Amino acid sequence: MSEEAKEQPKRSSGELKADIEHTRRELAETLDALEYKLDVPARVGEWVGDRKAQLRKAFDESPVVVAGVAAGAVAVIGGIIAGVVGLARRRR
């Protein structure tokens, strides 16, 4: 052992217990964070819930704008589908 390790002051059992409890809390926080990061379905559910809440808020504030955006999105998607179908028919 090094000289520094030998010269550490002795700690009371209360200090040791406090250190152990502190380390346990830190470990529990780390494990909770890892569990949260690895629980992808729950995180996706939270994300979807947030997007729904944003959409509801936007619709409540200006329903005409939301309807216009939705109609535009449907038109764009319809155009993409029509283009893909048209290309597929030409290649036959």
Mapped onto helix, strand or coil, the DSSP state of residue 1 is coil
Q: Amino acid identity of 48?
A: V
Question: 44 lies in a domain?
Answer: yes
Question: 2 lies in a domain?
Answer: no
Question: 3 lies in a domain?
Answer: no
25-83 pLDDT, tens digit per residue, is: 999 999 999 999 999 999 999 999 999 999 899 889 999 998 999 999 999 999 999 99
CB atoms within 10 A of CB 58: 13
Q: Say if residue 26 is in the same domain as residue 52.
A: yes
Q: What is the pTM of this model?
A: 0.44
- Which structural domain range is residue 86 located in? 63-92
* CB contact at 8 A, 67 and 55: no
Q: Which two tokens stand for residue 36?
A: 């949260």
Q: Say if residue 56 is in the same domain as residue 16.
A: yes
Q: Side-chain half-sphere of 10: how many Cα atoms within 13 Å?
A: 2
Q: Say if residue 54 is in the same domain as residue 69.
A: no
**pLDDT for position 5:** 58
Q: Say if residue 19 is in the same domain as residue 48.
A: yes
Question: 4 lies in a domain?
Answer: no
Domains held by the chain: number: 2
Question: 88 lies in a domain?
Answer: yes
Q: Say if residue 29 is in the same domain as residue 44.
A: yes
Question: 53 lies in a domain?
Answer: yes
